[in-house]
Amino acid sequence: MAEHQARKRFGQHFLTDEGVTEAIVRAIAPSRSDTMIEIGPGLSALTRPLLDRIDHLTAVEIDRDLAARLRKQYAPGRLNVIEADALTVDFGALGQNLRIVGNLPYNISSPILFHLLAAADKVRDQHFMLQREVIDRMVAGPGESDYGRLSVMLQSRYYMEKLFDVQPDAFTPPPRVVSAIVRMIPLGADRLQPFSHDAFERVVARAFSQRRKMLRGALGDWSAHVPWDALDIAPTARAEQIGVAGFIRLTDELGRQGLVSA
């Protein structure tokens, strides 16, 4: 089969190091009956070893040439290829107890992570290869330099763990950054939740819109209505000092006052 040229517009970097592939599959620990979804299968570096261990795999691939290649390589009873942009796929419609894996395109990794939030109730776990810098932001805690909007939004919904780094020479062509593997496990229904996810997203976005400002400045006209002491939040604090629970308390109070709606 003809060699495929990596396409910059799709952010393609193909994993070629079998040692790294084996480490990823060990971390995933697939079982035969798993409902597994792979985003961006590319040249099958993960697809092949996954199909050795599970009965059926669904792959989401935006590149039509790679999608055609996959259909030729694997029987439809083993591999279902969805030829589409992952950002347009309704992952929640693909089953229950989903296990989602993939080497995500680094240029749209954050939008994909936010898109998958809508399907979290149907997901068992997610294992992704991403730029290490992004994973450091995902798992950072309040007060750490990498802590930001991405940290808060994802930590409100998932338990996350950085597993290991992957060096550029594990890929063809090699990216200019170090990669890493992250495990994401959705938190249960008993997790602390805001009255509205959309309102929570708006409050967090505004709080981090001007990182250098104190919260009382970053929140603008909302600030005068915030009972800071009652919420146990200092008005002089900056957004990166506030944990998920603090943002949930803030969102619920602003919602109670009718300043943010569901």
Mean predicted lDDT score pLDDT of the chain:
93
Return d(Cα 47, Cα 66) in angstroms, integer.
12
Using only C-alpha atoms, what is the Rg of the chain? 20
Percent of the chain with pLDDT over 70: 95
Which residues are CB-neighbours of 82 under 8 A, at least 6 positions away?
A: 58, 59, 60, 61, 89
- Please tell me which residue, 36 or 7, carries the higher pLDDT value: 36
104 falls in which pLDDT band (50, 70, 90)?
confident
Which residues are CB-neighbours of 163 under 8 A, at least 6 positions away?
A: 27, 127, 180, 181, 182, 183
Instruction: Tell me if 57 sits within 8 A of 79, measured CB to CB.
Output: yes
Residue 31 pLDDT greater than 60, yes or no: yes
- Res 128: pLDDT: 97
The contacts found for 18-23 with CB under 8 angstroms, 24 or more apart, are: 20/166, 20/170, 21/45, 21/46, 21/49, 22/49, 23/164, 23/181
Average pLDDT over residues 146-165: 97
Average pLDDT over residues 217-232: 96
| pTM: predicted TM-score of the whole model, two decimal places | 0.91
105 falls in which pLDDT band (50, 70, 90)?
confident
pLDDT in tens, 235-249: 999 999 999 999 999
Return d(Cα 120, Cα 262) in angstroms, integer.
19
Residue 173, preceding peptide bond in cis (omega within 30° of 0): yes
- Res 72: pLDDT: 94
10 falls in which pLDDT band (50, 70, 90)?
very low
- Res 176: pLDDT: 87
Q: Which domains are assigned to the chain?
A: 8-186 (3.40.50.150), 197-256 (1.10.8.100)
